Chains A and B, each alone.
Chain A
Amino acid sequence: MLSKRIIPCLDVREGKTTKGIKFQNNIDIGDPVEMARFYYEAGADEIVFYDITASHEKRNIMIDVVRRVAENIFIPFSVGGGIRTIDDMREVLLAGAEKVSVNSSAIKNPEIISEGAKAFGSQCIVLGMDVKYVGKSERIPSGYEMVINGGRTYMGIDAIWWAKEAERLGAGEICLNSIDADGTREGYEINLTSLISTNAKIPVIASGGAGKPVHLLEVLTKGKADAALIASMVHYGTYSISQIKSYLYSNGIKIRKT
């Protein structure tokens, strides 16, 4: 059987990871390549990078990071943030990423999903979804609405509809972030995750809200997620990946032992 994946997420701005990250053994902080290597050694199943560099002109810095990461780690990793065109995708994939993720650019221009899938295969194309609960209405039947700009702009699109539409267009995976749960460390949005996971036929990575290992257990069972994204709970050294994995294993979750 397939193992559930545990995926650390790194935000990168102009070639540096942005959060004040402290590892227990004080290895280089702030260098995404070192951090990727640390998580690779620690048993991460995959790594996600978000380029939050504001200026499009500085994208080449991220490409260099991707190239150096690819030379150092031998597990899949994806890169998102600022991917607007097929050429942006090609650049990231050629630099060594396994997958690219598109979020707001796909809402504005859904063809980027189908064109990307056609050019590089569906397995490369991850749809990033930022979702907020707004209450059920005629326009948003599930009550979950697509948002962009960190949750500031509502798009008037139902999250379940968008997940299915992106899948039809050729997305190979969904990285589902709940804006409501993000940063709370009080657990993933289980209801949302389960809704998207049962409606989509492609794998779903749950994101937003992880603070304790039990949160991963919940989202991988009740939430029916295929993978769980983690950030601060490992970045600050509160938990190690092996601690999280052994907790999940002892609770009956199939995980990859390392």
Chain B
Amino acid sequence: MISIIDYNAGNLTSVYRAVNHLGFKCKITKDTQAILNSDSIIFPGVGAAGAAMESLLKLGLDVAIKEAFNLGKPILGICLGTQIIMSYSEENSVNCIGIINGKVCAFPFNLQDQDGNRLKIPQMGWNSIEIKKEHPVLSGICKDDEFYFVHGYYPRPSDDNDILASTSYGINFPSIIIGGKNLIATQFHPEKSGKCGLKLLKNFCMWQPC
């Protein structure tokens, strides 16, 4: 069973539908025991860091996620879920769960492309990723594959070794990060990224980190 963590942060049903479509059993839950008993965990999210952290703390889910991580359960962070596992977010200046050391940064205000055109924030749309090192969850993902992004902030791990892939949008920012042996987190939405996104999700659902 795969648990999709419910902390009132929206967009859970898209993740549920995609995982279901791939033929894996999953459940949307805020029950800490159910989360600790599941085979893997997806930590999605859309919204703002402040409200999300407040909700996680109230539900005791911050503790459950850390515990599940320490137990070695495979965890997938998505978008806001990815940001919340960092130590701190510039959005609402809030301390986060802190599984990965580092902070969540806002895109610089005057973001420009190579030709000097102003780039819009949030980044909304399809962009590619540059994979730094191999990972089972990225199996079959190619250089030209694109993923759907919607965000104004991005994760910046303190240790560059935690960056699995980066994406260019005025600056180069980490778009897939890893924590320990069993956590992988994407800034984009695999559940809304067509075939490539489904491939990544399927890889995650089958992933058994040693």
Q: Show the binding face of A for B, using Cβ within 8 Å.
A: 1-3, 5, 40, 45, 70-71, 74-76, 93-94, 96, 98, 120-123, 172-173, 201-203, 226-227, 256-258
List the A residue with the shortest CB-CB distance to B144.
A257
Cα separation A137 to B14 with both chains bound (whole Å): 47
Residues of A within 8 A of B169 (CB): 1-2
Q: With A74-B193, A121-B47, A258-B194 known to touch, is A96 a contact of B126 (CB < 8 Å)?
A: no
Residues of A within 8 A of B31 (CB): none
The stretch of B34-42, B57-65, B115-123, B158-166 that contacts the partner chain = B115-123
Cα separation A109 to B180 with both chains bound (whole Å): 50
Beta-carbon contact of A123 and B122 below 8 Å: yes
Cα separation A121 to B198 with both chains bound (whole Å): 25
A7, chain B: closest CB distance, angstroms: 11
Q: With A40-B194, A74-B194 known to touch, is A121 a contact of B120 (CB < 8 Å)?
A: no
Beta-carbon contact of B18 and A45 below 8 Å: no
**Does B203 interact with chain A (Cβ within 8 Å)?**
no
Beta-carbon contact of A2 and B126 below 8 Å: yes
Q: With A96-B13, A98-B14 known to touch, is A74 a contact of B124 (CB < 8 Å)?
A: no
A244, chain B: closest CB distance, angstroms: 15
Which of A5, A123, A201 contacts B46, CB < 8 Å?
Answer: A123
Mask of B189-201 contacts with A, CB within 8 angstroms, 1/0: 0011111011000
Most chain B CB inside 10 Å of its own CB: which residue of A71, A74, A203: A74
Q: With A2-B126, A45-B126, A256-B126 known to touch, is A70 a contact of B168 (CB < 8 Å)?
A: no
Chain B count of residues within 8 A CB distance of the other chain: 33
Interface of B is mostly: mixed
Q: List 21 A-B contacts (CB under 8 A).
A: A1-B127, A2-B119, A2-B123, A2-B125, A2-B127, A2-B149, A3-B125, A45-B125, A70-B13, A74-B18, A75-B148, A75-B193, A94-B13, A96-B14, A98-B14, A98-B192, A120-B10, A121-B10, A123-B46, A201-B121, A226-B125
Q: Show the binding face of B for A, using Cβ within 8 Å.
A: 10, 13-14, 17-18, 21, 46-48, 113, 119-127, 144, 146, 148-150, 168-169, 191-195, 197-198
Beta-carbon contact of B126 and A1 below 8 Å: no
Residues of B within 8 A of A93 (CB): 10
Residues of A within 8 A of B21 (CB): 71, 74
Beta-carbon contact of A1 and B113 below 8 Å: yes
Cα separation A76 to B193 with both chains bound (whole Å): 8
Residues of A within 8 A of B113 (CB): 1
Cα separation A76 to B192 with both chains bound (whole Å): 6
List the B residue with the shortest CB-CB distance to A204.
B120
Beta-carbon contact of B192 and A74 below 8 Å: yes
